[in-house]
Amino acid sequence: MHMKTFIRVLILSALAELSYAQENEIEKRLYLLPDVIFKTMETPPGFQSAYELKVRQPIDHSNPQKGYFYQKAYLSHKGFDQPMVYATEGYDCNRNVVYELTKLLNANQIMVEHRYFGESCPDSLDYDYLNLSQATADLHHIRELLRNLYPYKWISTGISKGGQTTLYYRYFYPSDVDVSVPYVAPLNLEAEDQRIYGFLDTIGTDECHAAIRALQIRLLQHRDAVLPLLKFYCAGAKLQFTYLTFEEAFEYTVLEYPFSFWQWGFDCSLIPSDTASLESALLHLLNVTDISFFSDRDITAFAPHYYQAATEMGYYGYRTEEFSGLLKALPLKPHPSAALTPGKMKVNFDPELASKAYHWLQTKGDRILYIYGGIDTWSATAVPPSEKVDALWFFLPGQGHGGARIRNMAPEEKEKLVSALKRWLDIDITATDSNPG
């Protein structure tokens, strides 16, 4: 064997042995953790091993006698001496997704499914225990379990409702992580946050506003022709409507259109004109706001989210005044709410927590990187920039809810973000890492 080939074989053999030793070590340590069941899973590229965890959580952290449930999490292990990115999901977790921040920091990652979503549910869903105090206590418990395994820097992050969870986790447990990076995370202050309406009135051009409104009015005016087409579509998609009637779902879809249009960053030039066929107008509507969002399937899937929105996280509603005489299933007053609570449960919104968190973030929320889309409707209720804290805000021009990411930042903004991370975490971030996929 050639000497260079021999050396290469030795190096590869040593690396394989080291990797096996690390994997063996992480599994030994996981076995010793209380409240944790784990199994191996497919390892994402760049990691040494990955595991699906089931963490035993009290239904009520203040009274464990209420019972327990198991919360799902995905752990991707790179090294005990590497940072840990803590992905605070707002919904369910169906697969192990590596966040761009994890790639940027060459970090480990723990991704946690939110309580009452997916597989992380008690046997009986008592919604009294679906609140931010309990949800962030879940995250704190996992942080405490892993504290000694990963003693280096911790960075929490989340997207949309997951970003809201990131913010509230930082509010309840400010010392758990070193830095927080919420993406497109609203902080709503009311059950029907009025700032949404102001945003929809001012974003885009007058011509675009007129085109959006004209499409809504046209579809409502021609409902007798639209509804049969829509029924055919829903039959093909196997959608059912018992929570809402079919006509209520149709009207909700039309009312939702402006919110979703800007949330997802659609192009105003794509809005069908009055001369386009009704079929093309309807197809455009469904491309922006699919009626499936108001079907039994999606309402059931998002029921815990709607409960949280209606009770303490806040949400939005739909203005109806301009559609007087055109709505037949939904009332003009009060405004229909976008929070479709489980079983049409009657709940009261308590603004106290949102108000306290808002004030804390404005005055004490240091080492937070806020990333928002410049045209995303949810930027209407963004945490506003404050000079009282050591934090940074990024509003990416022209980006909607899905495009507000580090990879889409201008080079100077990306450099500013990386510099802040280096300063706050006291770690090196290489130039190649600053372009995460």
Per residue in 352-376, pLDDT (tens digit) is 999 999 999 999 999 999 999 999 9
Distance of CA 225 to the CA centre of its chain: 37
Residue 198 placed within a domain: no
| Category of 307 on φ-ψ map: left (φ > 0), alpha (ψ -120 to 50) or beta | alpha
- Does residue 11 belong to any structural domain of this protein? no
In the numeric block, the tokens 């209520």 are attached to 248
Q: Is 333 exposed, middle or buried (0-12, 13-18, 19+ CB in 10 A)?
A: exposed
- CA pair distance 70, 120, nearest whole angstrom: 6
Q: What is the pLDDT of residue 60?
A: 98
For residue 212, count CB atoms less than 10 angstroms from its CB and return exposed for 0-12, middle for 13-18, buried for 19 or more: buried
Structure tokens at 116: 């009452």
Domain boundary among 326, 344, 362: 344
> How far is residue 84's CA from residue 156's CA, in Å, rounded to a whole number?
8
Answer yes or no: do 385 and 409 share one domain. Answer: yes
Distances (CA, A) of 250 to 57, 224, 244, 294: 40, 12, 10, 8
Same domain, 45 and 141: yes
**Structural domain count, the chain:** 2
Domain shared by 317 and 403, yes or no: no
Q: Are 237 and 196 in contact (CB under 8 A)?
A: no
Last residue of a domain, one of 321, 344, 367: 344
Question: What pLDDT does residue 289 have?
Answer: 97
Q: Are residues 25 and 173 both part of a single domain?
A: yes
Contact 219/268 with Cβ under 8 angstroms? no
Question: What is the radius of gyration, based on Cα positions, of the chain?
Answer: 24
- With a cut of 50, say whether residue 434 has pLDDT above it: no
**Considering all CA atoms of the chain, what is the largest pairwise distance in Å, rounded to the nearest integer?**
87
In a domain, 414, yes or no: yes
Residues 94-119: b if buried by 16+ CB within 10 A, e if exposed: eebebbbbbbbbbbbbbbbbbbbbbe
Collapsed DSSP state (helix, strand, coil) of residue 53: strand
Q: Note whether 227 and 163 are same-domain residues.
A: no
**194 inside domain:** no
What's the confidence (pLDDT) of residue 430? Answer: 78
pLDDT beyond 90 at 110: yes
| Structural domain includes residue 2 | no
426 and 286 in a common domain: no
Question: Can you give the pTM of this predicted structure?
Answer: 0.93
Closest to 131 (Cα-Cα) out of 59, 180, 63, 188: 59
Whether the upstream peptide bond of residue 45 has omega within 30° of 0, thus cis, is no
Is position 35 within any domain? Answer: yes
pLDDT per residue as tens digits for the range 270-295: 999 999 999 999 999 999 999 999 99
Do 340 and 372 lie in a common domain? no
My answer on whether 79 and 131 are in the same domain is yes
Same domain, 334 and 359: no
- CATH number of the domain to which 95 belongs: 3.40.50.1820
Would you state the structure tokens that stand for residue 313, as one six-digit string?
A: 């996280």
Alpha-carbon distances, residue 419 vs 103, 397, 434 (angstroms): 16, 21, 10
Asked whether residue 195 is domain-assigned, the answer is no
> Domain check: are 103 and 137 in the same one?
yes
Closest CA to 187 of 319, 370, 383: 383
pLDDT above 90 as % of the chain: 92
Last residue of a domain, one of 344, 379, 408: 344
Q: Indicate if 41 and 160 belong to the same structural domain.
A: yes
In a domain, 316, yes or no: yes
* Range(s) of the domain holding residue 129: 18-189+353-434
Sheet holding 179-183, edge to edge: 36-40, 49-58, 68-77, 108-112, 84-88, 154-159, 179-183, 369-373, 392-396
pLDDT at 2: 61
CA end-to-end span of the chain = 40
Residues 162 and 258 occupy one common structural domain: no
pLDDT at 13 over 60: no
